Homo-oligomer: A and B are copies of this chain.
Amino acid sequence: MDISNKVFIESAFQPEIFGDEMYDLICRLYPICRSITGDGVRETLSIIHEMVPIEIHEIKTGTRVFDWTVPKEWNIQDAYIKDGSGRRVVDFKESNLHVVSYSTPVKEKMPLAELKKHLHTIPDMPECIPYRTSYYQSDWGFCLKHKDLLALNDEEYEVSIDADLKDGYMTYGEFFKQGELADEVVFFSHCCHPSMCNDNLSGLAVIALVARFLQSFSLRYSYRFLFAPATIGSITWLAQNENNVHHIKHGLVASNLGDAGCSTYKKSRRGDAEIDKAFQHILKNSGKPFDIQAFQPYGYDERQFCSPGFNLPFGRLTRSPNGSYPEYHTSADNLDFVKPEHLFDSFYKIVSVINILENNKTYQNQSPKCEPQLGKRGLYRQKGGLQNAGHFELALLWILNLSDGQNSLLDIAERSKLDFNVIFSGAQALLDCGLLAEATS
């Protein structure tokens, strides 16, 4: 990083402007009907492209990606259930959640009993439409409010799903920013969910803004941002980039970043990766509630990046995790469920972690026998006898004591219980007067 970390961090702290920008992006993306393939994804990516110049990849139906195959492309024009009087009692145009994603086309009249086999509701949440998919099993279905299901009384209904499922492409977006090093930090956000805000328009909006933010800076690491469908998207990317994953030094799956829950970091499979330590440091020092979770192989796309054949250092940041809140995967995950201030908080924590990753070097004390005389360099109070040293003086002592080539600045921050930025400033002062030099590893 060719500018001080203070400028970097301070430039990121624009809660209202950035919070609103992300929320506005979510508002634009909300009505679009996305799935793991199709024009909804393309439209979504083209809107993100206005913010960051992402490259669009189109992967052909039938492409083998490890144990999987890129599926047919699905697009939908309209869908409804009409009652005996011809009234649309379920209407895709009102909410794209009404149709089970990847439903095969149908157009027929059928008795209510028959129809019910294709209907999904949440009895405990009668006002909400659930979100359901059937990507890999040929089927069709409707999702509706449970109270609307109870109101169905006619003997026969007309159902229509005007959709195509045919050979085409799976689409994803990628933005790469070259850094000083070939070593990469990768961010992944899934772009396949239809009209739901927290899962996962929030993830898209936050990492799109992170990508745009980083563009203003010359950075040590290279950065890669992936906007792709869940599961098949990450698997496809890994299959196509298998020979280059050794460049990935840190990775993050970003999702559910706009709700009111506390920030929740799920550790990588390794459990002690640098990104795990960096997020734990930032969350512990945030002054806000947080949760750290051990890795488990259920969740989002960290499942693929952390599969044993890759075992990449990918963590995951959410606020409320998948499956942990009632609005999850329902129509209640709407524009009211996410807030600009939560989006900003998530954004700022990610930028703070990037700041650590960029600056977390390991140094060697150049005067390791006894303490160097800091006072004569203007780095230590000249009057003795006071009760305690200040934070900055403590930081200097910790850095000098632990900089034996084995401890990074983040290690020193954790051990000293001082904030990374205090340790970083101390290291700069010691570098400036030659008491510290970068460790040769």
Contacts and interface: CB of A to CB of B under 8 A. Distances in A.
Nearest to A407: B308
Contact of A131 (B132, B376, B385): B385
Protomer copies: 3
Contact of A416 (B242, B296, B385): B296
A153 interface: no
B308 A385 contact: no
A356 interface: no
B329 A370 contact: no
Contact of A373 (B67, B328, B384): B67
Contacts of A416: 296
A372 B328 contact: no
Interface string A357-400: 00000000101111111011000001111111100001001101
A67 to B, nearest CB: 4
Contacts of A382: 134, 136-137, 139
A329 B385 CA distance: 6
Contact of A387 (B139, B235, B323, B402): B323
Contacts of A242: 369
A433 to B, nearest CB: 11
Nearest to A245: B369
Nearest to A236: B370
A192 B134 CA distance: 67
Contacts of A385: 130-133, 329
Interface in A327-352: 328-329
A317 B370 CA distance: 20
A404 B303 contact: no
A293 to B, nearest CB: 13
Contact of A310 (B100, B303, B370, B376): B370
B372 A308 contact: no
A74 B416 CA distance: 36
A54 to B, nearest CB: 23
B309 A370 contact: yes
Interface in A379-433: 382-389, 394, 397-398, 400-404, 416
Given A308-B365, A309-B369, A365-B309, A323 B388 contact: yes
A68 B401 CA distance: 17
Contacts of A67: 367, 370-373
Interface in A32-76: 65-68
B401 A297 contact: yes
Contacts of A101: 384
Given A136-B373, A136-B375, A238-B370, 7 more contacts: A66-B367, A297-B401, A298-B389, A298-B394, A307-B370, A308-B368, A308-B400
15 contacts: A66-B367, A66-B369, A67-B367, A68-B373, A133-B384, A136-B376, A234-B370, A238-B370, A296-B398, A298-B389, A298-B394, A303-B397, A303-B401, A308-B368, A310-B369
